[in-house]
Amino acid sequence: MSKKLFLALLLLAAVIITSCAPREESLVVAIPTDPDGFHPHQSVAAASAEIAFNIYEGLVKAAPDGSVVPAIASSWEISPDGLVYTFTLREGVRFHNGRLLEPEDVVYCLSRLVDPEVTSKAQEFSAVDTIEADGDDIVITLSRPDAAFLALLTEFGASIYPPEAEEHLSTQPVGTGPFVLTSWKPNNELVLSRFEHYWDNDLPMMDRVVLKVIPDPSTAVTNLRTGHVDLIPRLEPDYLHQVEDDETLTILEQPMNLVQLLVVNNAREPFDILEVRQAVAHAINRDEIIQGAAWGRGTPIGSNMSAAMETWYVDVTDTYEYNPEKARDLLEQAGYPDGFSAVIHLPAPYPLHRSAGEIIVEQLAQVGIELDIQVVEWSTWLEQVYSNRDFSLTVIGFTGKLDPHTVLGRYQSGSGRNFGNFNSPEYDELIVQGLLETEFEDRHEIYARIQEVLAEDVAGVFLMDPSQLVVMNENLTGWQQYPVYVIDLSTLHWKDR
């Protein structure tokens, strides 16, 4: 055999071996901010929950159509009186540390979740009486009917993890989901790798996902157009014009089911006066904010519910119409004929909220309310504004949920999520009634009135549900839109691979 022929055969063999070898499927996603940790009972940021959806699972989880579907439980039954929930665990479910999931793990995690000494989320589970293992079943008994209970079990806080991993979950999460967190460089990137022992053999479809923390949307777009990023799940509207004519990209516009609002601290002077809050509401022009901050890509709302939840949504946007003259009259009635000054805190990682806040500053100035803008980093916002409630005004977005109670329950006076300090005896009573009522028509009437109370008492000024703009490489497919704030990475795959 000649030397040239031998080399040619070697080259051909190398090509054949290479083409037959499995190729790693990888994906790069741009996200605007770092998670605040991955402990299900401690994290409060939506940025954590949207990623954790791929790492953790609970007994059940949300589906793209808004229904509740099995996760580590293969099925469940509810007693006729609505008090006993029996979940049958799926066989062969493993944690990321390799250990088989046991019923005792579920009892441990959920028992901590409902303990007010452990987590502020416990209030939402106050109806839980006992959590027990019965063979391969988990039996949860309630002390009273709770119409939102099943939907609550889909949330990040109800995730199941191995007790032995408790101390390190914030930075080293251990779940049963389709991906494992294999690397985290704070403020830089997170790497998720395929969990080879995931109970659904068809998922995930990617072997590796890199989540790049890119706070500047312009930089994220540049990385997308140059091929260094494959997907931006939530593009800021200001930057849509940079990608809409690019034929190498796919753009999806969908309802986000997110409530953007001006949060008003109802316990801080002078916003503890109803007439002052009413004046603020009359001074705000939603249409101008939607056009100026979201380029018209948003739906105006009047309470803490998006029109995307059409079964429960009530349109109360006209409760306080835009009327600067009326706003000035109300300020005079409240004892502030010359207006007043205050500070508005805006979260640095979210341009949409910053832009809306800047427009609100201009609008309120027209009625004599002078606002000093303080743009704060996300960690500062979470600690100062959310946790310590040390603020007067802020603009933020509240993520959508599957049940109206989990959307609206945050305004209950004792709720740990009620950082705007809204306090209404009527509201508190209605919230309790909404959980106890099981008939749809009666429940619908209760939650309709709840939305009216939020608007009338100006718990905050509700602005819009912005459109979610998903931009991705044209060869990427499998995106699924959810009515809750998650990114499902498990179904994404490349068309040509």
Which range has the worst mean pLDDT, 79-83, 238-242, 308-312, 482-486? 308-312
Q: What is the mean pLDDT of residues 39-65?
A: 96
pLDDT band at 496; cut points 50, 70, 90: confident
Where is pLDDT greater, at 154 or 308?
A: 154
- Distance between CA 233 and CA 211 in Å, rounded? 11
pTM for the whole structure? 0.84
Residue 23 in this model has a pLDDT that exceeds 60: no
Q: Amino acid identity of 375?
A: V
Residue 465 in this model has a pLDDT that exceeds 50: yes
CATH architecture of 258-467: Roll (3.10)
3-state SS assignment for residue 305: coil
pLDDT at 63: 95
Provide the percentage of residues in the chain whose pLDDT is more than 70: 95
Residue 104, CA distances (Å) to 135, 150, 153 in order = 10, 20, 17
Residue 205 in this model has a pLDDT that exceeds 60: yes
pLDDT at 2: 54
Nearest to 371 by CA among 337, 332, 339, 415: 339
Q: What is the mean pLDDT of residues 99-113?
A: 98
pLDDT at 21: 41
pLDDT at 10: 47
pLDDT band at 185; cut points 50, 70, 90: very high
**Per residue in 343-357, pLDDT tens?**
999 999 999 999 999
Residue 254, CA distances (Å) to 230, 466, 490 in order = 19, 9, 20
Strands 476-477 and 340-347: unpaired
pLDDT at 310: 86
pLDDT at 438: 81
pLDDT at 7: 47
Q: How many CB atoms lie within 10 A of CB 493?
A: 16
Residue 206 in this model has a pLDDT that exceeds 50: yes
Q: What is the mean pLDDT of residues 371-395?
A: 97
**Per residue in 277-298, pLDDT tens?**
999 999 999 999 999 999 999 9
Which range has the worst mean pLDDT, 19-33, 116-130, 284-298, 444-458? 19-33
pLDDT at 92: 96
Can you give the residue ranges of every domain in the chain? 56-163, 182-252+468-485+487-494, 258-467
pLDDT at 24: 73
**Per residue in 418-439, pLDDT tens?**
999 999 999 999 999 999 888 8
Tokens of 476: 């990427």
CB-count burial class (<10 Å; 0-12, 13-18, 19+) for 174: buried
Nearest to 51 by CA among 65, 26, 25, 30: 30
**Per residue in 237-280, pLDDT tens?**
989 999 999 999 999 998 889 999 999 999 999 999 999 999 99
According to DSSP H, which parts of 286-438 are helical? 286-294, 324-333, 351-365, 378-380, 404-408, 425-436
pLDDT at 12: 47
Q: What is the mean pLDDT of residues 398-425?
A: 94
Q: What is the mean pLDDT of residues 370-375?
A: 98
- Identify the CATH class of 56-163: alpha beta
pLDDT at 121: 86
pLDDT at 308: 87
CB 367 within 8 A of CB 330: no
pLDDT at 123: 87
CB-count burial class (<10 Å; 0-12, 13-18, 19+) for 259: buried
Residue 20 in this model has a pLDDT that exceeds 60: no
Domain 182-252+468-485+487-494 bears CATH identifier 3.30.70.260: no
Name the average pLDDT for the chain. 94
Residue 366 in this model has a pLDDT that exceeds 50: yes
pLDDT at 497: 58
